[in-house]
Structure 1
Amino acid sequence: MSAVPQERRVVTAIPGPKSIELQARRTAVVAGGVGSVLPVFTARAGGGIIEDVDGNRLIDFGSGIAVTSVGASAEAVVRRASAQLADFTHTCFMVTPYEGYVEVAEALAELTPGDHAKKSALFNSGAEAVENAVKIARSYTKRQAVVVFDHGYHGRTNLTMALTAKNMPYKQGFGPFAPEVYRVPVAYGYRWPTGAENAGAEASAMAIDQISKQIGAENVAAIIIEPVLGEGGFIEPAKGFLPAIAQFAKENGIVFVADEIQSGFCRTGQWFACEDEGIVPDLITTAKGIAGGLPLAAVTGRAEIMDAAHAGGLGGTYGGNPVACAGALGAIETMKELDLNGRARRIEEVMKARLAAMQEKFPVIGEVRGRGAMIAIELVQDRATKAPDAASAAALAKFCHAAGLLVLTCGTYGNVLRFLPPLVIGEDLLNEGLDIIERAFAAL
């Protein structure tokens, strides 16, 4: 278990004096474009707790945006990464390779959906993985167009900004963007005009119609979708939508890419969220939860597609860094050993029951949704009109932060509270965090 005591403790205002002092230093030297949800400076973290420099201990419902699923100082991650650190920090896999990279690729071949022959390429970040998935798909299909979806988020590089739906804060003022990117509707059940029960069939028909008429299926290299749309508001596409899109891709020689950067590695109670409807993607992109907090990302997919790029066409100086690979092997060991898929499903059980009870009491809660430990509540000014309530989301987050609970907001309309607790969080802390959320709603 974590060396950090697993109990919430608020001993100063949040942020406290030391954090405020550090924030002043930060403002002087760190670019203003780099934001922070909560300017408390971390001293140590583990389990379900973040301890700041002032000695406050916050319950962590963010996991560094779905990264520290195994905790922020998991024993196996620390042990394996420390051993690797002592042996060597870097040789560049493209210069002289090492076993850790191969082991991670073997693990990915075993864990990702489908029993076809698979290969992987490792990178540093989710955006890099998505960008390389596009390179590989274009190389394989000899086509150029890429199809993405409303409310999708795929990264902050030039190409992945083009793939991302939301303008502020991701795209504003940063154009021009990469060409040959096309956006189509997604089955956002809660906001679908004819009701959630029709969203899967209607949205997939609309998307397929638009692709066929506006782009031409024969020009599409890849269709990229998050099986649970993260930044867009933890939107689970209505049932039937993903299978229909995957089938359309298959029939038209289009590479179907599941972006599992936020939803992968036990987060939704399965190794990968696309497994829920039996989707077997051609390529799958992973990052975030893969390495217990060390920077690592991957593209894994059908061997013949992965091999389409010419030798030397894929890579990067730090891609598959040996210390990060060791961390990934430690994270995967932890996930298997502690059955973190089972833990994620238990977190869903606890959270959904408590949040559903709150929904009955507080009309501001329009919908409770999500899977596993990827749960969200969408806030509305009025349940009939479903007008988004971003102000309440901000106020609730502020209340929680002051009480020692770290929560994050998201959503195209900024009106979604998202909960991403570490999968190793204790149930007492989970319930205490939910108590604070309930108090926050009462105070609203």
Structure 2
Amino acid sequence: MNAPHTHSSLAIDWSTQGIVDRRNRFYSASQRKFVPYKDPLIIKRGRGQYVWDEQDRKYIDLLGMNLCISVGHAHPRVVKAASEQVAELTHCTTMFYHPVPAQYAEELAGTMPAGHEWVVHFTNSGAEAIDLALLMARSHTGNIDMLALASSYHGATFGAQSVTGIAGFRHSVPQLGGVTFVPEPNQYRGIHGEGVEPYLKEIDRAIATSTSGRLAGMIVEPVQGYGGIVPIPEGYIAGAFERVRAAGGLCIIDEVQSGVGRTGEAFWSFESHGVVPDIVVVAKGVGNGIPLGAVIATREVAETMADKFLFHTYGANPVACAAGRAVLKVMREERLQENARTVGGALRTRLEDLKERYPIIGDVRGRGLMLAIELVRNRATKEPAPEETLAVFEETRRNGLVASRSGPYRNVIRMCPPLCLAMADVDDVLDRFERSFAAIAR
């Protein structure tokens, strides 16, 4: 017997219980899993660096909705660009031509290192773009073996999770073959402690023992995101790229979280390492919350795919690309990369002060507005403190902050706010953290 048809009215039910009940009833289990707080946080609206819940309580968004909000919630320039394009033409498949995606591709290519011919393949998300980057590297080189870093996160699709080095993100199914993980050069918790050379030797060892000796490539986040905001130290990426290319592989940089000026040092964080990748994967902040991702590659590499059909239905959607163009303009005109550097530097300094008062804080790290504090039970042993981290995390929500817990041990509080976070917000943020840590220290 067929279920009766139901017809929803146009009005949205904003009652707290109604929202919770519908999600629990109609969301698949796989989409209900990703819930950070004990009690659901319902977001109704946002503006700039702030969001409000369904009860009109205001929060400072230190997460940027998982780093998707780069230039600020509901930025008027982005809203205007997307709205105007929606009103004119909502979608144009890449079977046909439209100027907005092509011009945006030109502008994105213009953000890459000079002296190379860059081309763009648009996707709908970062995970899709990772899948394409892996396929592109294997197609171009004719090799299969890929290297990835432990504690990395590249997405949850079947391909992306195969190069994700955190068990919690890998499903209990056979993963794509040909992936070898090497220790990440974590300067706080890495297996070799501080330094770069011991971690580069791990790449040599992996190539010699866990691969055929010929690589398709290596994928690296310049700042590991879900791994706990772990900046890759100077010299590592350059050394890794040298080894990978010597083994016939391509060098893939994942800028999904660390790009679009977030680290403050450069528009793309790989630029601070003095390297030129073969493939760059971007998403999240490029669309300021509108689904948009891309693989940016040298023409030589991308042309390998010319004879094979590969299609993303909404890839190069003109509305998303119009938003992406507006993001680039706002970043430049409002100097948000510089803001990330100065405000992020001030926030980190204040977090270091907080560390001096609370021994449970083992490490403060990050760059620009991509920061984290790692909580430990003992600074000498660095024993992770996941339960205490959860307690502090719940207090930050009660004190009007939206952040996240991350890291392999879930003992890291991650802060990646919209890049418009103001210097005037820094004292407010630290006051709320102070109250949150004081609450669990009693």
State the TM-score, normalized to the length of structure 2. Answer: 0.92
Distance of 1:33 and 1:216 partners within structure 2? 36
Distance of 1:127 and 1:201 partners within structure 2? 30
Among candidates 267, 274, 283, match of residue 270 of structure 2: 274
**1:114 Cα deviation (Å)?**
4.3
Among candidates 307, 314, 318, match of residue 310 of structure 2: 314
Q: How does 1:184-223 map to 2 (within 5 A)?
A: 184-196=182-194, 198=195, 200-218=196-214, 220-223=215-218
Aligned to 1:12: none
Aligned to 2:377: 381
Aligned to 2:349: 353
Change (3 A) 1:421 1:205: same
Q: What's the secondary structure of 2:110's corresponding residue?
A: helix
Distance of 1:157 and 1:236 partners within structure 2? 24
Aligned to 1:121: 121
Distance of 1:440 and 1:208 partners within structure 2? 45
Aligned to 2:139: 139
1:365 corresponds to which letter in structure 2? I
Distance of 2:161 and 2:46 partners within structure 1? 31
Q: Deviation digits for residues 199-234 of structure 1, max 9, x if unmatched? A: x1111111222123321332x111101111111111
Aligned to 2:4: none
Contact 1:262 1:288 in 2 (8 A): yes
- The more displaced of 300-309 and 203-212 is 203-212
Among candidates 22, 26, 42, match of residue 25 of structure 1: 22
Distance of 1:407 and 1:278 partners within structure 2? 31
Q: Deviation digits for residues 80-137 of structure 1, max 9, x if unmatched? A: 10111011111211x1121111112111111123431111100001011011011111
Aligned to 2:73: 72
**1:373 Cα deviation (Å)?**
0.3
Distance of 1:333 and 1:192 partners within structure 2? 39
Among candidates 233, 244, 250, match of residue 249 of structure 1: 244
Q: What's the secondary structure of 1:122's corresponding residue?
A: strand
Contact 1:18 1:54 in 2 (8 A): no
Aligned pair 1:393/2:389, yes or no?
A: yes
Q: How does 1:234-245 map to 2 (within 5 A)?
A: 234-245=229-240
Contact 1:112 1:271 in 2 (8 A): no
- The more displaced of 372-381 and 19-28 is 19-28
Distance of 1:226 and 1:351 partners within structure 2? 23
Distance of 1:192 and 1:49 partners within structure 2? 35
**1:350 Cα deviation (Å)?**
1.3
Contact 2:105 2:120 in 1 (8 A): yes
Q: How does 1:51-62 map to 2 (within 5 A)?
A: 51-62=52-63
**1:280 Cα deviation (Å)?**
1.1
Contact 2:180 2:206 in 1 (8 A): no
Aligned pair 1:287/2:283, yes or no?
A: yes
**1:355 Cα deviation (Å)?**
0.6
Distance of 1:193 and 1:316 partners within structure 2? 40
Aligned to 2:322: 326
Aligned to 2:93: 92
State the TM-score, normalized to the length of structure 1. Answer: 0.92
Distance of 2:163 and 2:89 partners within structure 1? 36
Counting aligned pairs with the same residue, the percent is: 32
Aligned to 1:178: 176
Contact 1:144 1:180 in 2 (8 A): yes
1:165 corresponds to which letter in structure 2? G
1:253 corresponds to which letter in structure 2? G
Q: Deviation digits for residues 182-212 of structure 1, max 9, x if unmatched? A: 111121111135531x2x1111111222123
Runs of at least 5 residues in structure 1 that lack an aligned partner in the other structure: 1-16
Change (3 A) 1:389 1:176: same
Q: Deviation digits for residues 229-257 of structure 1, max 9, x if unmatched? A: 11111111232211100111233331000
Contact 1:81 1:326 in 2 (8 A): yes
Q: What's the secondary structure of 1:111's corresponding residue?
A: coil
Among candidates 317, 340, 343, match of residue 344 of structure 1: 340
Aligned to 2:112: 112
Aligned to 2:3: none
Change (3 A) 1:33 1:78: same
Number of residues paired by the alignment?
A: 422
Contact 2:64 2:418 in 1 (8 A): yes
Aligned to 1:11: none
1:144 corresponds to which letter in structure 2? I
